[in-house]
Every structure is written in structure tokens, then in C-alpha cells.
Structure 1
Amino acid sequence: MARLQTQASYQDRLARVTDFLYEHLEDDLSFDRLAEIACLSSYHWSRIYTAMRGETIAATVRRLRLQRAADRLANGDLDIALIATRAGYGSTDTFARAFRDMFGQAPAAYRAAGSHAVFRAASAAANAHGFPVSIDTLAPQRCAGIDHVGSYMQIDQAMGRLFAELAARGRLPAQPAMTGVYFDDPDNVPETELRSRACLPLDDELAIEAPMVETMLRGGLYARLNYTGPYADMRGAYRWLLATWLPASGYEPAEAPILEAYLNDPREVPQSELRTDILLPIERAS
């Protein structure tokens, strides 16, 4: 029990660091300040973070800043120089090199021709068969969840908290199958009010206690769109699935939220190789 409590304490400290990063991602970040938030020695805390989170704190900051930059490029018209500044880069050239390393394209090329643009073109052409969609029947699945309110691009903040809660109880699977549940339409709900939930399926009767939320994922028919690419581009995939594929499919949306099943880890693969199943709950049209 003491060992689990100690592990829970470390996980909680690092979760506080992650929360601080999201709140101050565009500020100057002091490693000494992060050590204070973690309540750990300034000599050792960053090595503890790397050992427990699988990437250095510098890599986490860089990844989160560039993901936010990609979202702005794919889904807005903010000037690239300003995006670079907000991502913490002193010049557009330095930003472009870092962005290309992570996303495989320069910022301007990504804005013009990233995967979001491919889905946008398919939607404009009313091409309902441009991307593979399968119809699958899924069993109901009991999950532990952590709620998140705010940008969908930041749901991994809730995922980190969920990992910490399960790890503290010694119940974190060796290969956790993460699922995101998305309750609101980001085109109609302010970003600060978007509701989502990070979920992890459980195979046993583990008691699910606060701040975790017991969640039963709906069983039944789903349209599965296999998406490969940056999370920032997925809004275009959603629009194609809902506006182009669905009306031509012979199905109607069911009364349940869309799910995302994450098939690999952004800490381990390039953004262009991230794989996600977008799962739209459906029923046969009457």
C-alpha cells in the first residue's frame, strides 16, 4: 500500500506539471518553476519526469506547442509569423525547421496541402467514397474516464490524469487502449466549453472512484473511419464523414457521442503516422 501511495504522489506531482504546461504553454517556462510545481529536487525532477512519462520535459513542451501551431494552421488563418511567436520561436525559419521535423511539411505547405486539405477537397467534390469507412458492430465497453472541458486538442491532459489515477491503484494496463468521447460540436460550441472524456476500457470490476467517472461506451453499429495523420487535421475528416459520407450511406446517426480510438502514441511516432479510428454511432435509415 505504501508503495502505491508513493507512486500516486509522484504521478500527482507530474500531473500538476502537465496542467501548468497547458495553462502557460505560450509563456516563458522556467525549469526551476516546474520543479517547484512538482515539489521535487531541481537536480533530479526532469530525469524523474523523463523516466515516468517516456519523453523529456523539453520534448513535451515542443510537442504541445507544435500541435497547437498545427491546429492554428489547419483550422484558422492566423499569420504564420504570429503562430511561430506564440509557439515560442524567435524566427519563422527556426519554427519552420522544427515544424517540418515533426509534421513532415513546412508550415505554409501544411496549411495548403495537409491531410485536412485532402478531406476538404473530397467534401467540396461530394466524393463519398474517397476514404475507407467500415460498418462494425461493437460490444458495450465499461471504462474508467476523466472529464475534460476545453479544446479537444488538449484531451491528453485528461488522459494523463486518468493514467495517474489508475497507476496509483496499480491497475494501469501495460498497453492501455485509450478512447476519447466527444460530446459537443466544435463548430457550434465555444472552445472553452467543449466537453469530452478520456476513457480506458477495464476488463474487471475495479471500483471507479472520483475523480474518475464510470462510463459505459455504447454497443451497436458504428461507422469506422481509419484516419492517419495529425490530430489537428481531424476536423476536416469529421466534416467529410458527416456531410459527405453519411448522407450517401443509407444510415442515420444514433443518439450517442462520437468516439476516437487512439492506435499509437504521439510520443513515439511522427505526427504524420498517428493512427486514429473515428467511430460514428449509426443506425439503419428507416
Structure 2
Amino acid sequence: MIEGELMPKSATHQSYLDRLNRVDDYIHAHLEDDLSVERLAEVACLSPYHWSRIYAAMRGETVAVRIRRLRLQRAADRLANTDIAMDKISMLAGYGSTDTFGRAFRDVLGDTPAQFRAAGKHAAFKKAVSTCDAQGFPVSVVTLPEQRCASIDHVGSYMQIDHAIGRLFAELSKQGGLPETPSMIGVFFDDPDAGEESELRSRACMPIGNDIAIGEPLGETKLKAGHYAQLNYTGPYAAMREAYRWLLGTWLPASGYEPGDAPIFEAYLNDPSQVPQTELRTDIHLPLHVLR
């Protein structure tokens, strides 16, 4: 390139996407560390005067909002699914006091951390499991066609699959294969109660047409056609573990079905960056084998 000549617009756009992807990778890997604006500007290799506004314009939310959302999402997961002390959860979420943490948590989740731990949506699922309430939550049996998906693998906490979803979205957009109305799916291969969290295998998927080429680093995944139990869940992702326990431990044994030979997948019906966590809608799909 001749000195002083500008890069082609396509190359410039991809350069910005690559740099913002590095920022997202760094945020997920260091969510409990000090994520200063200056450090993230270094990761992005962009001017500290402008990079955060570029991030917000290209990602649809400010970097501060994203960090706050991800930290509180992880805190909600710990409150719902562990016995870690409240003050430690507050510290890991980056808050200097439990009072400040409590106010921020209530703003996003609608309850204080103590209320969420004691009576959040996960607590309702636990009650349903303990009472074997087979009528407690909406489940329907649906028949789905085979779905061809572009996909990218994720290893680690299921609560961090949104990282893989973001990379899938960006990569498919780069390859020109992004559908006009994209839909996101998470496929989960392991029992989170039976193994190390760092080794859990999942896959971010996006249904695409058969005429769309899929290039590396993406792969192709085909979701099986067949019967599925579809549980309609509304609420924070952190509380879904008990929904799974209810579906598998209460609904399935009373249903007359057996589980099919395929992994469970989740279809995400709205965007966590656009709606409160209390309004997130997810359809959990359990493959079924119909007994003859």
C-alpha cells in the first residue's frame, strides 16, 4: 500500500470488528479483574478518547453496561446455584460494598440479592420439584423440522455461552451469511451437576438456509427433526438450572415419553442487551422418543 493511502472500507470495517472482538474476549476472560477504560483501549488498539464510543455504536450497548450486565448475570448464577457468601459474591462482581451491589442488583433483577436467593424464579422451580407439581410450568410437545445451523463451540460455564453467540453473530456477518432476522440457539451436551464447569461443552448455533456457505472458524450443525418437549421459560438465565431439574425430574416421568438420543437446546427469543433479565424469554427443547 502506498504511504498515506487509506485502507479499503471493507478491510477497515473488519479491522474494527476484530479489535472489538478482542475486547469482548478480554472482558469474558477477566470479568472479575479491574477492567479500566485505559486497559480496554490498549486491548482494542484504538484511541482512548474514542474507542468506547466506537464500541457502543458497533455493539449496541456501552462497554460499561455490558460489563455490568455480565457481572450481575454471573452474580445471579452464584446466588441461585451456590452457597457462596453474599459479601464474596459482591466482591467478585466488582462492588466495594454489599449495599452498592444490592442496589445495582435490584435495578437489574428487580429483587435484592437476598430476596433473589430466597425467593427468585429458581426457588419456584425447586418447590415444584419437591412437590412433584407436574402442572406448574408451561410445557407443550412440538414437532420440529431439521434445522441447518452455522455454529461455534464453547467450553466452560454455560452462563458464558453468550460469548460464543456474539462471536458466531460477528463471524457470520463477516462471511455475508447473516439471516435477515437471525435467531440464536444454544446446544448443551453435558450435565452441569456432573462435571467440572471448566469442561462443560456447548455450542452456539444460528439457523441458516441450505444455500449459505459456512467458512472457518464456523462449523455446521444439524438439529434433528422430531418431537420435543418445549418448556417456555421467562426470567434470568441464572435460574434455569432448576427449570431443567423440574422438566427432567417431574414432567418427563409423568409424561409417557422417553428422552430422545440428542442434546437439549435452548432458543433465545429476545436479546439480554435490550430487555431486563426478568423479561428474558427462552424455549428449552428436550428431544423425545415416542413410545409405541
Per-residue Cα deviation, 1:33-82 (whole angstroms, up to 9, x for no partner): 11111121211111111011110000000000000000000000111111
| Corresponding residue number in structure 1 for 2:109 | 103
| Corresponding residue number in structure 1 for 2:237 | 231
Aligned pairs (5 A) from 1:61-80: 61-80=67-86
Which of 16, 23, 31 is the aligned partner of 1:17?
23
Structure 1: state its 5+ residue gaps. none
Aligned pairs (5 A) from 1:18-167: 18-167=24-173
Further displaced range: 116-125 or 37-46: 37-46
The normalised TM-score by structure 1 is 0.97
Following the alignment from structure 2 to structure 1, what is the Cα–Cα distance between the partners of residues 179 and 213?
Answer: 15
Which of 172, 177, 181 is the aligned partner of 1:175?
181
Following the alignment from structure 2 to structure 1, what is the Cα–Cα distance between the partners of residues 181 and 113?
Answer: 33
The Cα shift of 1:83 comes to 0.5
Which of 1, 8, 30 is the aligned partner of 2:14?
8
Structure 2 counterpart of 1:147, one-letter code: D
Which of 252, 256, 262 is the aligned partner of 1:246?
252
C-alpha contact 1:4 1:168 (8 A) present in aligned 2: no
The Cα shift of 1:2 comes to 4.6
Following the alignment from structure 2 to structure 1, what is the Cα–Cα distance between the partners of residues 57 and 180?
Answer: 15
Following the alignment from structure 1 to structure 2, what is the Cα–Cα distance between the partners of residues 6 and 205?
Answer: 28
| Corresponding residue number in structure 1 for 2:226 | 220
Further displaced range: 203-212 or 55-64: 203-212
Per-residue Cα deviation, 1:134-161 (whole angstroms, up to 9, x for no partner): 1000000111001000000000110111
Q: How large is the Cα RMSD of the aligned pairs?
A: 1.3
Pair 1:190-2:192 in alignment? no
The Cα shift of 1:194 comes to 0.4
Following the alignment from structure 1 to structure 2, what is the Cα–Cα distance between the partners of residues 2 and 257?
Answer: 43
Further displaced range: 24-33 or 64-73: 24-33
Pair 1:202-2:212 in alignment? no
Which of 259, 268, 275 is the aligned partner of 1:269?
275
C-alpha contact 2:175 2:215 (8 A) present in aligned 1: no
Structure 2: state its 5+ residue gaps. 1-6
The Cα shift of 1:171 comes to 2.6
The Cα shift of 1:189 comes to 1.6
C-alpha contact 2:177 2:213 (8 A) present in aligned 1: no
C-alpha contact 2:230 2:284 (8 A) present in aligned 1: yes
| Corresponding residue number in structure 1 for 2:4 | none
C-alpha contact 2:235 2:277 (8 A) present in aligned 1: yes
Structure 1 counterpart of 2:36, one-letter code: S
Alignment coverage as a number of residue pairs? 286
Which of 253, 264, 277 is the aligned partner of 1:258?
264
Following the alignment from structure 2 to structure 1, what is the Cα–Cα distance between the partners of residues 166 and 248?
Answer: 30
Following the alignment from structure 2 to structure 1, what is the Cα–Cα distance between the partners of residues 134 and 11?
Answer: 52
What percent of counterpart residues are identical?
Answer: 66
The normalised TM-score by structure 2 is 0.95
C-alpha contact 1:137 1:219 (8 A) present in aligned 2: yes
SS for the counterpart of 1:129 is coil
SS for the counterpart of 1:130 is coil
Residues 278 and 6 of structure 1, relative CA distance in 2, 3 Å threshold:
same
SS for the counterpart of 1:264 is coil
